[in-house]
């Protein structure tokens, strides 16, 4: 637990969090207004002071006990207007007509130091009208997992929701076993999802859809207002952000795990860290989620699933794109088809950077695929392979550290010959190339076994030090800091985590 007390100035000149709420103005069709259910004994496990500062939250105005009570939902600050958002969604391909925030409550919005509007949401805050059979709560393990992974994604430079605070509740939650309860304060640039559109489309609520679309445009894509067909342009912009996002996931070996349409945010941020994981050994069909039996959301399927989800979004706004259904479908289809090309561009450009290539040649894609195939066949570690390529560019002798990542070292030698001959056609200095490569090939990622160790220590022994250390190391993913080499290592035999759980 956090011991340090934040100086209490008890400054009454302004509110500690300056809420400025916009979603609530859409009207009661879009949410249910309610307060979080109080918890017994809230205690702060982790407070993200840097993020709080960026959000203009004045931590010094209150002491830690007050913040624990705020970020558990026990105390509602002036300006907050708590609500649970309604949405629907395709879960594993099956449409569920009503989901909604079943265990989350949006406290309100704040404008950050870069003038961006952010949602402040409590996750694990108690039952809502959308809880269905659930208890509205979250267990400590999944809360810490989301904290670790979302903050790691942020440090990697990937659009994501962030974690402001993790609080234990002092109450048990009942899953397969009895677990300590917790609440996560999640910060997102917006929580409207594809599933939010689906909810209203299903009900034929055209006015609500229009309101929602315009809300999303104002908040995330104001530039499309200038376009001849605003709503078509919006679809293209959302498509573009998602194409880029999923390419970025692939570049770091991230597997989301539950890419249901209710987990795809219109803001283009990674959202909903459930059974997500980073892969160690490269395998295109890697799945970790215990509920993903068919591999629908496997590493290599993610780009196609994003396209499928985008098509579901497009369906909901067809009447806005064109009054004539046929032409609306034609136009939307074109955008959705453009996705494959757009994704490929983002993916290729990132992969070129990972290999140290500054120019484009038509054969580059083959070179990249051939490395990935060799890694797959030889069970090479994804993150280490790319990181060590940075060293191999700098000093050819370092090839020896790469070779031994491949079951058949000769397979690497064969590939590296074509790579080196490609590199030799560019006139950049070795130093410069190494520097650039180290900026895109992380040294540390939230390896599953490390995440698991941190969660187990916290949940079983109330020892938060592995969690703290992991969060710290992951905040500089592109650096190889002294004494942290253990965090770069793949799991040893027996340390492998093969399955992850939603924890709901
Ligand atoms: P997720 O898998 O976290 O995206 O959740 C899917 C849906 O289930 C959302 O509507 C959640 O609000 C709801 N849900 C998940 N866990 C719980 C829970 N413990 N209690 C109530 N609703 C939940
Ligand atoms: Mg969700």
Q: Is the CB–ligand 1 distance for residue 102 below 6 Å?
A: yes
Ligand 1 contacts CB of residue 263 (under 6 A): yes
From 262, 272, 381, 391, active-site residue: 262
pLDDT at 2 over 60: no
Assign residue 269 a region (left: φ > 0; alpha: ψ between -120 and 50; beta: otherwise).
Answer: beta
How much is the pLDDT for 380?
98
- Local confidence band at 494 (pLDDT 50, 70, 90 cut-offs): confident
> Which residue's CA is the closest to the ligand 1 atom numbered 15?
504
Please report the pLDDT score of residue 5 as a whole number. Answer: 45
For residue 164, how far is its CA from the centre of ligand 1 (angstroms)?
20
Q: What is the pLDDT of residues 191-220, one digit of tens each?
A: 999 999 999 999 999 999 999 999 999 999
What's the rounded mean pLDDT across residues 65-88? 98
**pLDDT band for position 369 (cuts 50, 70, 90):** very high
Ligand 1 centre to CA of 101 (Å) is 7
What's the gap in Å between 133 CA and the centre of ligand 1? 9
Q: Mind giving me the DSSP string for 461-488?
A: H---HHHHHHHHHHTSTT---TT-GGGG
Task: Give the integer Cα–Cα distance in Å for 7 and 63.
Answer: 7
Task: Round the CA-based radius of gyration of the chain to a whole number and report it.
Answer: 23
CB 123 within 8 A of CB 186: yes
- How far apart CA 166 and CA 124 sit, in angstroms, is 10
CB distance 137 to ligand 1 below 6 Å: yes
Q: Return the pLDDT at 501.
A: 78
- On average, the pLDDT of the chain sits at 95
CA 128 to CA 100: how far, in whole Å?
Answer: 9
Residue 262 annotated to the active site: yes
* Mean pLDDT, rounded, for 60-72: 97
Residues in the chain: 504
In this structure, the residue with its CA closest to atom 13 of ligand 1 is 102
pLDDT at 476: 97
Residue closest to 311 by CA, chosen among 289, 284, 340: 340
260 Cα nearest atom in ligand 1: 4
**How many A from CA of 394 to the centre of ligand 1?**
48
Q: Rounded CA gap, 357 and 379, in Å?
A: 24
Residues 439 and 232: their CA atoms lie apart, in Å, by 35
């Amino acid at each position: 637990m956090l011991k340090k007390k934040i100086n209490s100035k008890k400054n009454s000149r302004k509110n500690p969090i300056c809420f400025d709420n916009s979603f609530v103005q859409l009207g009661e069709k879009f949410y249910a207004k309610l307060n979080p259910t109080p918890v017994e004994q809230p205690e702060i496990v982790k407070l993200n002071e840097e993020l709080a500062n960026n959000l203009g939250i004045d931590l010094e105005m209150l002491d830690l006990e007050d913040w624990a009570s705020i970020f558990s939902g026990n105390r509602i600050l002036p300006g907050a207007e708590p609500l649970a958002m309604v949405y629907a969604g395709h879960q594993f391909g099956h449409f569920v007509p009503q989901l909604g925030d079943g265990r989350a409550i949006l406290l309100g919005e704040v404008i950050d130091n870069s003038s961006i509007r952010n949602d402040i949401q409590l996750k694990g805050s108690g039952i809502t009208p959308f809880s269905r059979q659930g208890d509205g709560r979250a267990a400590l393990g999944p809360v810490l997992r989301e904290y670790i992974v979302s903050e790691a994604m942020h440090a990697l430079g990937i659009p994501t929701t962030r974690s402001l605070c993790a609080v234990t509740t002092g109450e048990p939650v009942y899953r397969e076993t009895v677990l300590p309860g917790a609440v996560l304060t999640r910060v997102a640039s917006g929580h409207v999802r594809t599933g939010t559109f689906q909810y209203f489309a299903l009900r034929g609520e055209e006015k609500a859809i229009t309101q929602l679309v315009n809300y999303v445009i104002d908040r995330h894509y104001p530039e499309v207002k200038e376009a001849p067909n605003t709503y078509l342009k919006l679809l293209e912009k959302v498509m573009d952000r998602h194409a880029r996002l999923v390419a970025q996931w692939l570049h770091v070996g991230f597997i989301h795990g539950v890419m249901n349409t209710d987990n795809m945010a219109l803001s283009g941020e990674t959202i909903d860290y459930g059974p997500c994981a980073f892969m160690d050994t490269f395998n295109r069909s890697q799945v970790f989620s215990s509920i993903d039996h068919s591999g629908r959301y496997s590493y290599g399927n993610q780009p196609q699933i994003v396209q499928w989800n985008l098509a579901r979004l497009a369906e909901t706004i067809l009447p806005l794109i064109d009054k004539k259904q046929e032409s609306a479908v034609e136009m939307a289809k074109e955008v959705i088809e453009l996705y494959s090309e757009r994704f490929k561009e983002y993916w290729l450009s990132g992969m070129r950077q990972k290999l140290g290539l500054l120019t484009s040649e038509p054969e580059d894609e083959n070179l990249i695929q051939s490395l990935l195939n060799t890694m797959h066949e030889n069970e090479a570690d994804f993150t280490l392979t790319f990181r060590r390529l940075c060293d191999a560019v700098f000093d050819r002798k370092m090839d020896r550290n790469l070779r031994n990542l491949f079951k058949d070292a000769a397979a690497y030698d064969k590939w590296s010959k074509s790579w080196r001959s490609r590199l030799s056609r560019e006139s950049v200095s070795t130093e410069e190339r190494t520097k650039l490569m180290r900026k895109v090939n992380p040294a540390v990622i939230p390896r599953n076994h490390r995440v698991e160790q941190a969660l187990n220590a916290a949940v079983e022994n109330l020892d938060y030090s592995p969690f703290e250390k992991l969060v710290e190391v992951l905040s500089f993913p592109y650096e190889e800091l002294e004494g942290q080499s253990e965090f770069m290592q793949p799991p040893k035999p027996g340390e492998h985590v093969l399955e992850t759980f939603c924890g709901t």
